[in-house]
């Protein structure tokens, strides 16, 4: 029995590595890279992408939750891994057992982690996060010195880094991020005055990496750009200019989402398509059925708003997107056959549908489109 689907995602590890190489050239040798592979590497597959990142010589891996870090350890990844979302006290035993690091911002977690590290005879690296305006995780600046001093006096813990997270690095208003950078600088200065000098600092996400070079610190945390996408159109000219300045190829999309035509049907003018008949054919049409739907991660809110590629040409999606199927109009594309390849996002011929463009039509962000490509969609890795 064959186990495969016409609907699948092709992952180019070559493109992933090239994107990382671009970043290395842009950043220079003095700035380390933490490759963010949380959320199953934004839907691309955590283990293959983590392995590719390690082969490319990154300094750190960033996971979202402890289960992601443990999965990497169990599959032979020995490089430093930071749990970016922090952990609960009942997870410290697993954290210590698997030699993971965590974001730390409360004295209680520090105490529990210290006791467990001592029990297991290990020293655990922690990264203190200072809240400079995200108001999510992190210790407030006025409480930073107290927390840091406490951790310094706890056995079996080592403060490896001070970090923060930007809330608005891809917004038009630069003042918010500039203020966060200044607050972070003051926090570091505060620690230095007390004789606390940390091996690492990290602030910059993908957007800040390009727009705020003063935020590079000793390490950056690229996420979306590793997968060849950008968080906001604001970054397009900035990234293009940086690539041209460094004689680099543009960052390349790592995932292409594809399907195939499972049925072709001639439909008369004025006929309703799919649930609730929200689309009526404007002329005699040829409608193709694709075995892809919202259960695969194709947003239902894209119904009648998106296009796909067939034979290198754009074809509109028509009718309500279903759980397992969707319809496209191929009336104006010659010689379409059942079994023809269809590209949801990616390249076909001279045409490209970007994940950013698809996200814009869905009134969302590229992160959500990529992360939502479902588990039942096979990933095919191209090396």
Give the residue numbers annotated as catalytic, written as ranges.
38, 275
Q: Map residue 70 onto helix, strand or coil.
A: helix
CA angle at residue 380 from 379 to 383, to 5 degrees?
A: 130
- How many whole angstroms separate alpha carbon 289 and alpha carbon 317? 10
Q: Are 160 and 199 in contact (CB under 8 A)?
A: yes
Q: Are 63 and 81 in contact (CB under 8 A)?
A: yes
Helix, strand, coil abundance in the chain, percent, nearest 5:
35, 25, 40
User: Quick one: DSSP state of residue 130?
Assistant: B
Q: Exposure of 141 by Cβ count < 10 A (0-12 exposed, 13-18 middle, 19+ buried)? A: middle
Helix (H) or strand (E) holding 286: strand 285-290
Residue 356 C-alpha from the chain's centroid: 13
Give the Cβ contact number of residue 236 at 10 Å.
Answer: 12
Q: Are 45 and 373 in contact (CB under 8 A)?
A: no
Both ends of the chain: CA-CA distance in Å?
27
Q: Map residue 259 onto helix, strand or coil.
A: strand
CA angle at residue 341 from 335 to 347, to 5 degrees?
A: 110
User: Any residues with CB less than 8 A from the CB of 36 and at least 6 apart, and which?
Assistant: 62, 84, 221, 222, 223, 226
Phi and psi for 10 in degrees, rounded to 5?
Answer: -95, 125
- How many whole angstroms separate alpha carbon 175 and alpha carbon 266? 56
User: Quick one: DSSP state of residue 24?
Assistant: H
- How many whole angstroms separate alpha carbon 40 and alpha carbon 152? 34
- List the beta bridge partners of residue 61: 35, 81
């Amino acid at each position: 029995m064959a186990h495969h689907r016409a609907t699948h995602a092709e992952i180019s590890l070559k493109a992933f590595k090239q994107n990382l190489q671009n970043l290395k050239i842009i950043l220079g040798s003095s700035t380390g890279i933490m490759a963010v592979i949380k959320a199953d590497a934004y839907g691309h597959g955590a283990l293959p992408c983590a392995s590719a990142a390690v082969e490319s010589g990154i300094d750190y891996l960033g996971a979202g939750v402890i289960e992601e870090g443990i999965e990497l350890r169990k599959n032979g990844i020995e490089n430093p891994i930071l749990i970016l979302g922090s952990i609960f006290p009942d997870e410290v035993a697993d954290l210590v057992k698997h030699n993971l690091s965590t974001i730390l911002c409360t004295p209680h977690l520090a105490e529990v982690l210290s006791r467990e590290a001592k029990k297991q005879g290990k020293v655990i690296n922690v990264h203190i996060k200072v809240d400079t305006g995200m108001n999510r995780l992190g210790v407030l600046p006025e409480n930073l010195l107290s927390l840091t001093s406490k951790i310094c006096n706890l056995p079996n813990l080592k403060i490896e880094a001070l970090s923060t997270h930007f809330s608005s690095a891809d917004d038009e208003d630069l003042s918010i991020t500039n203020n966060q950078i200044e607050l972070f600088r003051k926090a570091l200065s505060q620690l230095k005055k007390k004789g606390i000098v940390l091996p690492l600092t990290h602030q910059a996400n993908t957007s800040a990496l390009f727009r705020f070079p003063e935020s590079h610190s000793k390490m950056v945390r690229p996420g979306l750009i590793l997968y060849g996408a950008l968080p906001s159109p604001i970054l397009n000219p900035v990234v293009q200019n940086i690539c041209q300045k460094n004689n680099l190829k543009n960052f390349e999309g790592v995932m292409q989402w594809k399907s195939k035509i499972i049925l072709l049907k001639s439909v008369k003018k004025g006929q309703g398509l799919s649930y609730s008949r929200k689309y009526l054919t404007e002329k005699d049409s040829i409608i193709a059925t694709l075995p892809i739907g919202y259960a695969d991660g194709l947003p239902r809110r894209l119904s009648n708003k998106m296009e796909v590629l067939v034979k290198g040409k754009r074809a509109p999606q028509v009718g309500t997107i279903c759980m397992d199927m969707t319809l496209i109009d191929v009336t104006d594309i010659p010689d379409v056959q059942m079994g023809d390849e269809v590209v949801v996002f990616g390249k076909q011929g001279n045409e490209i549908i970007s994940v950013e463009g698809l996200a814009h039509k869905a009134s969302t962000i590229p992160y959500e489109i990529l992360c939502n490509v479902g588990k039942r969609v096979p990933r095919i890795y191209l090396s």
